[in-house]
Structure formats: C-alpha cells, structure tokens
C-alpha cells in the first residue's frame, strides 16, 4: 500500500528553488511543518525534472478503452497516483504569457485523462478524484489583479477549470504580483501574499505573523 502524504508540492518555475513562488510556498510548508512535525511532503519540481512530451501512443490510448496498466499510461498513472496519495495540493507557478507555463501545462495533459481522472457524459465532464484543499501561489512580473492590473489573468480561471474537471474544487489562489519592480516591489508582493494567505482556511486560525515572511535567497 502506498504512503499518503499531507502535501503534494508542484513547482513550475524555470527559476526552480530561486523562484519567488517556490520560496513563498516552501516557507509556507516550513511554517506548517513546525506546527505539525510529522507532516509529509512529496515534492515535484516540473522545471528541474521536466515531464516527457506526450507520445502518439498516449494520444491513441486515450481514444480507446486502454487498460490503466498500458505502458502508454505509465507517466500519467504515476502523476495521478501522486495526486491520489496527497491530502493537500500546493502549486507554485509563474504566469507565462497570461497563463500557466509549459511545464505545468504538460503536467495537466498527463493528468487530465478521460476514464481515469474524469468521465465525460451528457452532464459534461465529471471529476473522478477526491476533492482536497488546494493552494496555488502565482508569481508574475506585472499585475493582473487590483488597481494596478494592466493585463488579463488567463491562468486562474483556466487552472480552476482544470482542477475542477478532475474533482478538485477547493482551490485558493495567492498572488505574488509586480515582481519585476525591484526589492521594494518584491517585499510588498510578499506582504500582500501573506495577507491573502492569512484569509484562507489553512491559516484562518493562525496569527498573521506566523504566515511566511520574505524568505532569504
Ligand atoms: C516566457 C515568460 C513569459 C512571461 N509572461 C508574463 C506575463 O504574461 N505576465 C507577467 O506579469 N509576467 C510574465 N512573465 C514574468 C514572470 O511571471 C516572472 O518573471 C515570474 O513570475 C517570476 O516568478 P518566479 O520568481 O516565481 O520564477 C513572464 C516571464 C517569462 C520568462
């Protein structure tokens, strides 16, 4: 029997562990880990360890009643198993050209699988995985929410739809915006993100100063 983890932590920035989103999410996990020392985290860095591109065999297997143990589904099965074995999902992702980066899109294409992670019928697509609290930390060079917004956000609704398709509706987005603006802008982005995080159920009972502060590089 496979081990159940408290968190699956997916990170998607090409900046890997130097990414602002990664560092914010990692600090969040450290804060939670101090409160719950037995907490277990499965980490998958989608930039450091890129997933293989989709194969023709995968595409063909999707359109037939192919058994789950078919070799064409090996990567997909592994990623879906990781989700099934996690109580919470944490995603740290940059915004690339208004939406998710290619690394995360590839994860989506391996995980959204008809007949496995969702079904499709007259009622539309229905998720087959259990819902779980999901936190998404989104970093961006500019602003897409609030009075300074100068661009659309095609990431949040898209990712919400993707996750809802597989059964995950309990989603909370936290935005680290305006990161191109230098150290002061980064500091302000982190304090705004801490404020957003403190309003989520995960931290509802935690005093704001316990939410992650700007982690040192
Ligand atoms: C290919 C590419 C596309 C980007 N597109 C956007 C964008 O549409 N909007 C935006 O605000 N920032 C955009 N950026 C800036 C990144 O969002 C920003 O550098 C990133 O959030 C840094 O996050 P990290 O420190 O977590 O890696 C883009 C960066 C790259 C490399």
Q: What is the pLDDT of residues 167-209, one digit of tens each?
A: 999 999 999 999 999 999 999 999 999 999 988 887 654 444 4
Burial of residue 84 (CB within 10 Å: 0-12, 13-18, 19+) is middle
Tell me if 86 is assigned to a ligand binding site. no
Per-residue model confidence (pLDDT) at position 145:
96
Q: Where are the domains of the chain?
A: 5-210
On average, the pLDDT of the chain sits at 92
Beta strands 171-176 and 118-121: pairing type? Answer: unpaired
Residue nearest to atom 24 of ligand 1 (CA): 19
Confidence tier at 165 by pLDDT (50, 70, 90): very high
Q: Estimate the share of the chain in helix, then strand, then coil, as percent rounded to the nearest 5.
A: 40, 20, 40
% of the chain beyond a pLDDT of 70: 93
CA proximity to 158, closest of 145, 171, 140, 146: 171
What atom of ligand 1 comes closest to residue 18's alpha carbon? Answer: 25
Confidence of residue 94 (pLDDT cuts 50, 70, 90): very high
CATH 3.40.309.10 fits 5-210, yes or no: no
User: 97 in ligand 1 pocket by Cβ < 6 Å?
Assistant: yes
Select from 94, 100, 101, 102 the residue to mutate for testing ligand 1; criterion: most ligand atoms less than 8 Å from CB.
94
């Amino acid at each position: 029997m496979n081990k159940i983890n408290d968190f699956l932590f997916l990170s998607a920035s090409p900046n890997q562990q130097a990414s602002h989103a990664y560092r914010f999410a990692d600090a969040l996990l450290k804060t939670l880990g101090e409160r719950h020392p037995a907490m277990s985290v499965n980490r998958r860095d989608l930039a450091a360890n890129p997933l293989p591109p989709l194969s023709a065999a995968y595409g063909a297997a999707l359109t037939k009643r192919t058994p789950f143990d078919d070799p064409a589904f090996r990567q997909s099965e592994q990623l879906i198993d990781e989700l099934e074995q996690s109580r919470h999902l944490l995603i740290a992702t940059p915004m690339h050209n208004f939406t998710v980066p290619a690394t995360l899109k590839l994860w989506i294409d391996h995980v959204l699988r008809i007949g496995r992670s969702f079904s499709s019928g007259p009622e539309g697509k229905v998720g087959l995985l259990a819902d779980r609290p999901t936190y998404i930390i989104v970093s961006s060079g500019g602003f897409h929410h609030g009075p300074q917004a100068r661009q659309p956000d095609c990431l949040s609704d898209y990712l919400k739809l993707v996750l809802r398709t597989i059964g995950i509706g309990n989603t909370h987005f936290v935005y680290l915006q305006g990161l191109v603006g230098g150290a002061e802008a980064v500091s302000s982005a982190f304090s705004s993100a801490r404020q957003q995080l403190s309003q989520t159920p995960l931290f509802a009972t935690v005093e704001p100063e316990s939410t992650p502060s700007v982690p040192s590089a």
